[in-house]
Amino acid sequence: MNLDLNEEQKLIQETAREFAAAELAPVAAELDRGGDLEIFYANLRKLAELGFMGLNVRDEYGGSEAGVVAFSVAITELAKACASTAVTVSVNNMVCEVIQALGSEEQKRAYIPKICSGEFLAGAFALTEAGAGSDPAGMITSAVRDGDEWILNGSKLFISSAACSGVFVVWAVTDPQAPKGKGISVFLVEQGTPGLVIGKAERKMGQHASSTNEVLLQDCRIPGHALMGTINDGFRTAVTELSGGRIGIGSLGLGIGLAAMDVATRYTLERAQFGKKISEFQAIQWKIADRYTELEAARLLLMQAAFRKEQGRSFAKETSMAKVFATEVANRACYDAMQMLGGYGYTGDYPVERYARDARITTIYEGTSEIQRLIIARAILGEFS
C-alpha cells in the first residue's frame, strides 16, 4: 500500500501551503477581529484563479480534476492559516460536486464555472432549519408547483457564505403527504432572486470572516428548470452527496489542530522554567507525543476516506469515522496547546486562542459528533446482520 502523495497532489499541497503562509496567515487575526472583508474576498478570488474551488470537478466545467485526496490536503494547509477561508473553499467545492453529480447539463454549465472561476465568490447549501438540524428529514420549507414555476416558502438557518454566495442549493418539501424523509427535492436558487432574503448574521464564537446567516424564502419564485435531480428524491441525495463534505471539515480540523500544536511546540523550546526549557519536562513531552500521534491517525483516516471516494467505492462510514476523530482530536490539540503556552495561550498575543475558537464548531457542523457515531454504529451493525 502506497501512502505517499503523487506529484500532482504534492504540488497542490505545496501551493496551498505557500499561499496560506503568504496571503492568509498575515491577515487571519485581523479578519477574526472584524477586519475588512474585501481582503477575505480577494483571497477567495486568488484561490479560484489557482484552481482550488473545483479540485474534484471535471475540466469541462472549469474544475481542476485533481481528486478528493488533493482536496483534503489543500483544505488542511489552508486551515493552518485561516479556518474561515478553508471552510469557504470546502463548501464551494462541495456545492460544485453536488451540481456536477445531480444537475442537468445546462445547470452544470451555468453555475459550476462561475464558482470555480471566482465570478461567484461562493456557493451555499440551504438545508438546516430551526426544527431540522441533525434531523434534516424534518424540514418544513415547501416548494409548490405553479405552472412553469416553483414557489418556495420557509427559512433556513446557519447557512455558510450566505452573504456572498452566488447560488444556493436549497432543499424543500415537494410532497407533504409522503413519509418522512421522502417527498423532498433540491433546487438551485440564484442570489438576488425576488423572495430570497438574507437574514441576520450570526454572532459566532469563531471563524468570524466566514458569514453565517439565516436565509428566508418568502414566496420565492424560481423557474421549473431550477429543480435539480429527480423530484422527491432530495433527501437521499443530501445524505449521499453531503457525506463527502465531512472530508473537508475533518481536513479543516486537522489543519487547525496541527497549527495549534506547531505554535505550542516551538514555544516549549523557547520557554524556560525551573532552570530548563519546558520541552524537557515529561508532562509537556507527553502532550506533544499524544496529540501529534492522534493528528497523524486523523490524517490517515482522512486519506482513507478520500481515497475510497476518489475510487468510487463506498465511503459514508469512513468519512464519518474520519470526521468525528479528526475534529475531536483538533479540539484536544488546541486545548493542550493553550495549556502548554500557559497564560499566553489565553491571550491574543498568540494565535492559539483563535485556533481553539475556530476548532470548536468542527464537531458540530456537517453533522455533529453524535450523529457521526450513529452513522458509524449503524454501518457496523449492518455489516454484522
In Å, how far are 111, 188, 230, 284 from 104, measured between CA atoms? 11, 11, 10, 55
Predicted local confidence at residue 237, as pLDDT? 79
Indicate the pairing of strand 122-126 with strand 165-173.
parallel
**Average predicted confidence (pLDDT) for the chain:** 96
Same domain membership, residue 315 and residue 373: yes
21 to each of 27, 77, 259, how far by Cα in Å?
A: 10, 9, 12
Range of the domain at 85: 7-120
Global pTM reads 0.97
* Cα 237 versus chain centre, distance: 18
DSSP code per residue over 217-260: EEEEEEEGGGEESSTTBHHHHHHHHHTTHHHHHHHHHHHHHHHH
Number of domains in the chain: 3
Give a yes or no: residue 73 inside a domain.
yes
Q: Does residue 7 carry a catalytic annotation?
A: no
Separation of first and last alpha carbons in the chain:
30
Are residue 254 and residue 377 in the same domain, yes or no?
yes
Among 195, 211, 88, CA closest to 141: 195
The answer to the question of residue 1 being in a domain is no
Same domain for 247 and 378, yes or no, is yes
Decide which of 70, 101, 120 is a domain's last residue.
Answer: 120
316 and 224 fall within a common domain: no
- pLDDT tens-digit series, residues 74-101: 999 999 999 999 999 999 999 999 999 9
Strands 272-273 and 276-277: antiparallel
- Please give the Cα distance from 361 to 45 (Å, whole number): 25
Within this chain, do residues 222 and 251 fall inside the same structural domain, yes or no?
A: no
CA of 80: how far to CAs of 70, 104, 149, in Å? 16, 36, 44
Whether 255 and 344 map to the same domain: the answer is yes
What pLDDT was estimated at residue 236? 85
- Asked if residue 112 and residue 135 are part of one domain, the reply reads no
For the stretch 178-226, pLDDT in tens is 999 899 999 999 999 999 999 999 999 999 999 999 999 999 999 999 9
Percent of the chain exceeding pLDDT 70 equals: 100
Residues 228, 249 share a domain: no
Tell whether the model's pLDDT for residue 73 goes beyond 80: yes
Query: Which CATH number belongs to the domain containing residue 232 in this structure?
Result: 2.40.110.10
Res 358 pLDDT > 90: yes
228-249 pLDDT, tens digit per residue, is 999 999 888 777 777 889 999 9
Q: What are φ and ψ of residue 250, in 5° steps?
A: -60, -40
Res 235: pLDDT: 86
**Of the residues 238, 264, 290, which one is the last residue of a structural domain?**
238
Instruction: Please tell me the predicted confidence (pLDDT) of residue 181.
Output: 86
Catalytic residue among 270, 366, 370, 383: 366
The CATH number of residue 58's host domain is 1.10.540.10
Sorted by sequence, the CB contacts under 8 Å of residue 266 that are 6+ apart come out as none
